[in-house]
């Protein structure tokens, strides 16, 4: 998610969103519009690998895996287009309730959401979207940091708030408790680091 886009009116709904006919991608959070930037090669590589791992695991299972761009409509007690003020497009998501899956997108909170961030979107994804997913009731939220080669995992507690984050590096195995038997080998997500060649220093000059 990139920076906020200034438009004429104060608050936008999903009904407004459906009227925008340009080729740019947007998200709406609490009625505020955000322009979405094009993903990097590393972003796409991580996204495709995670989607493949999840799709293989959930084959012939009730839960389904979806990848961006697909709208997720988050609103309480309404499905009216003009009363929905949050529309997001997570990079990867898992949805287990078939009633949430509609032709227009996902209506309600996914069970698992993965966002892959860039340096320019880090604060927004980590603060704004984390709050959005927490309030919506997403059971597990991943923030993938391609540059730092880290994954931050937030799980929803019984009080409806995300618990203390768990941080995994690029060598970790992440077991996903809500899906028994599913684990992610982080080594498959991040490209190998280049080997550092050690240059042998020349001997000091001899004097005398």
Q: Which two three-digit tokens encode residue 120? A: 């320019």
Percentage above 70 pLDDT, the chain: 88
Q: Output the pLDDT for position 174.
A: 97
In this prediction, residue 1 has a pLDDT band, given cuts at 50, 70 and 90, of very low
Closest by alpha carbon to 122, among 93, 99, 150? Answer: 150
Q: Count of domains in the chain?
A: 1
203 by DSSP, 3-state: which?
Answer: coil
CATH number of the domain to which 168 belongs: 3.90.1570.10
In the block, which residue shows the tokens 């059971």? Answer: 139
Q: Alpha-carbon distance 145 to 126, whole Å? A: 11
Q: Please give the residue that has the higher pLDDT: either 204 or 190.
A: 190
CB contact at 8 A, 95 and 109: no
CB contact at 8 A, 121 and 37: yes
86 by DSSP, 3-state: which?
Answer: coil
The answer as to whether 110 is a domain residue is yes
The answer as to whether 85 is a domain residue is yes
Q: Output the pLDDT for position 143.
A: 96
Q: Output the pLDDT for position 8.
A: 59
Average pLDDT of 170-187?
96
Q: Please give the residue that has the higher pLDDT: either 46 or 201.
A: 46
With 50 as the cut, is the pLDDT of residue 182 above it?
yes
Which residues lie across from 87 on neighbouring strands? 28, 73
206 by DSSP, 3-state: which?
Answer: coil
pLDDT tens-place string over residues 90-112: 999 999 999 999 999 999 999 99
With 80 as the cut, is the pLDDT of residue 2 above it?
no
The answer as to whether 1 is a domain residue is no
Q: Output the pLDDT for position 188.
A: 94
CA dihedral 106, 109, 111, 114 (to 10 degrees): 80
The answer as to whether 22 is a domain residue is no
Q: Beta-strand (E) ranges in the chain?
A: 25-29, 32-36, 64-67, 72-73, 87-88, 92-95, 101-102, 105-107, 112-116, 140-145, 150-155, 166-168, 173-175, 183-185
pLDDT tens-place string over residues 127-161: 899 999 999 999 999 999 999 999 999 999 999 99
Q: Which two three-digit tokens encode residue 157? A: 């507690």
The answer as to whether 198 is a domain residue is no
Q: Output the pLDDT for position 7.
A: 56
Average pLDDT of 42-62?
96
pTM assigned to the model:
0.87
The answer as to whether 7 is a domain residue is no
The answer as to whether 128 is a domain residue is yes
Q: How many other CB atoms sit within 10 Å of the CB of residue 114? A: 25
The answer as to whether 30 is a domain residue is no
Q: Which helix (H) or strand (E) holds 133?
A: helix 130-136
**What is the residue range of 61's domain?**
39-188
């Amino acid at each position: 998610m990139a920076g906020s886009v200034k438009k004429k009116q104060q608050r936008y709904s999903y009904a407004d969103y459906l009227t925008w006919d340009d080729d740019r991608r947007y998200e709406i959070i609490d009625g505020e519009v955000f322009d979405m930037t094009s993903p990097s090669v590393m972003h796409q590589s991580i996204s495709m690998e995670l989607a493949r791992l999840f799709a293989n695991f959930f084959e012939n299972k009730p839960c389904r895996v979806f990848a961006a761009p697909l709208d997720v409509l988050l609103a309480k007690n309404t499905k009216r287009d003009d009363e929905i003020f949050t529309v997001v497009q997570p990079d990867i998501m898992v949805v287990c309730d078939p009633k949430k899956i509609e032709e227009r997108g996902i209506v309600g909170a996914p069970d698992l959401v993965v966002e892959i961030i860039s340096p320019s979107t880090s604060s927004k994804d980590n603060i704004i979207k984390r709050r959005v997913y927490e309030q919506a009731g997403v059971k597990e939220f991943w923030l993938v940091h391609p540059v730092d080669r880290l994954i931050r995992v937030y799980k929803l507690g019984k009080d409806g708030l995300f618990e203390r984050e768990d941080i995994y590096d690029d060598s970790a195995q992440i077991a996903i408790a809500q899906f028994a038997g599913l684990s992610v080998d982080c080594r498959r997500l991040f490209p190998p680091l280049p080997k550092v060649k050690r240059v042998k220093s020349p001997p000091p000059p001899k004097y005398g």
